[in-house]
Amino acid sequence: VDEIEFINKLLGKTLFIFNDSVFWGGPVDDKRILEFCNEIKKRKLNIHFYAYLRCSPWPNEEVFSAMVDAGLVRVFLGVENSSEATLKIYNKRIKNNDYETIKKQLDDKGVNIHIGYITFQPFY
């Protein structure tokens, strides 16, 4: 957060992109992300950020809400494919109806979605 504050105050930048597949990689990261989000709010930083998140596992309500309150405005999700068979080959532990639930949560919080999608399956 020190670096974000420095860039924000020195350069006036308000948008940050966390291009990290493990920005929040699962419940093991809850404490770190909550501390991060709380520190952004404590310092009253007027920023927005994008984050790369996994669909499975998906952050619980407390963590997701904290991210939104701290400035999360866009999420990159690796949906990869809509075929259940292909998702199984990719070892994605998620079903299509789970994507619908995640999309609804994002829509409800006003968070934009950037989807990664693999257009053909090379392993058949």
In which domain, by residue range, is 44 found? 2-117
Residue bearing the bigger pLDDT, 29 or 97: 29
Q: Domain tally for the chain? A: 1
Overall average pLDDT of the 54-61 stretch: 85
| Cβ proximity of 28 and 60 under 8 Å | no
- The answer as to whether 91 is a domain residue is yes
- The answer as to whether 65 is a domain residue is yes
Q: For residue 26, is it left (φ>0), alpha (ψ between -120 and 50) or beta?
A: left
pTM of the model: 0.87
- The answer as to whether 123 is a domain residue is no
Q: How many whole angstroms separate alpha carbon 120 and alpha carbon 89? A: 12
**What are the helix (H) ranges across the chain?**
2-11, 30-42, 61-70, 84-89, 96-109
- The answer as to whether 63 is a domain residue is yes
Lowest mean pLDDT among 42-46, 97-101, 109-113: 97-101
Indicate whether 124 pLDDT > 70.
Answer: no
- The answer as to whether 124 is a domain residue is no
Indicate whether 78 pLDDT > 90.
Answer: no
Q: For residue 12, is it left (φ>0), alpha (ψ between -120 and 50) or beta?
A: left
- The answer as to whether 48 is a domain residue is yes
> Residue 77: pLDDT band by 50, 70, 90 thresholds?
confident
Q: How many whole angstroms separate alpha carbon 14 and alpha carbon 16? A: 7
- The answer as to whether 122 is a domain residue is no
- The answer as to whether 21 is a domain residue is yes
